Amino acid sequence: MLKRLIYRYYERGLATEVARGRLPHHVGVVLDGNRRFALKRGLARAADGHRFGAENADHLVTWCDELRIPVVTLWALSTDNLRRPPEELEAIYAIVEDKVEQLAEMQARSSFPRRVRAVGRRELLPSSTQAAIQRVEDATAGNAPNELIVAVGYGGREEITDAVRRMIADRLVRGDSLEGIASGLHPDEISRYLYAPDVPDPDLIIRTSGELRLSGFLLWQSAYSEYYFCDAFWPEFRRIDFLRALRSYAQRERRRGG
């Protein structure tokens, strides 16, 4: 009981400190460790770990709402994950479909509603998952400028490849030559063809489960992002872990190469 009281007191003080400091405009989170969480807990299937992780996503969005952080991006499923066993993928798709529907309902009740969008190669997803994503996007389209972006079927290299491909195709339609496209190529032009070009680059990227890499998450957009790595598996990620990440961000000096 005493330990719990001390913990609550510490968390309350940390929340006050964070609220007074510099907050990120855009937070990206790599939701990693669901399968290892399932193994640790002795759960029957890896999909059970994903279900716990999906429930924790609601908590994270609520914490960001409380602090009025405008943009949140959650990496739920990578293109590499699509090589997992079919039975696990079927369960993940069902969880994604349920979760995006719940997110739409959550935004309808929220005092800080967000537009929910998905980024990634949707054509690789089942038609039912694509339809669920489209429904939530339509239902929350009027909630901008606050954003909740779900990266599903997403890979950073794939996003850059798709952006360059779309840019070249667009320029060719306009009558430009390949030589002209190559000679005038600029990073800002490629940026305009990313999956969500209107979204600001992430200020802070958090990865759970103790892995010290990004694995391609927002590869183009994260050039000047601050990183925070947490040992907790994603389903065990707590509000206090999130507040520690925000405190770490506020204590850093962002130079952006200057």
**Is 81 known to be catalytic?**
yes
Q: What is the rounded CA–CA span in Å between residue 232 and residue 12?
A: 20
**Is 198 known to be catalytic?**
no
Residue in 6, 71, 81, 11 with CA at minimum distance from that of residue 238: 11
Q: What is the rounded CA–CA span in Å between residue 115 and residue 140?
A: 5
Catalytic choice (32, 48, 65, 203)? 32
Q: Can you list the alpha helix ranges (DSSP code H) found in the chain? A: 2-20, 34-41, 46-66, 86-109, 127-139, 156-173, 178-183, 187-191, 239-250
Catalytic choice (56, 58, 80, 81)? 81
Q: What is the rounded CA–CA span in Å between residue 222 and residue 251?
A: 19
Q: Using CA atoms in the order 52, 245, 105, 194, what is the torsion angle rounded to 10 degrees? A: -100
Q: Which residues are catalytic?
A: 32, 81
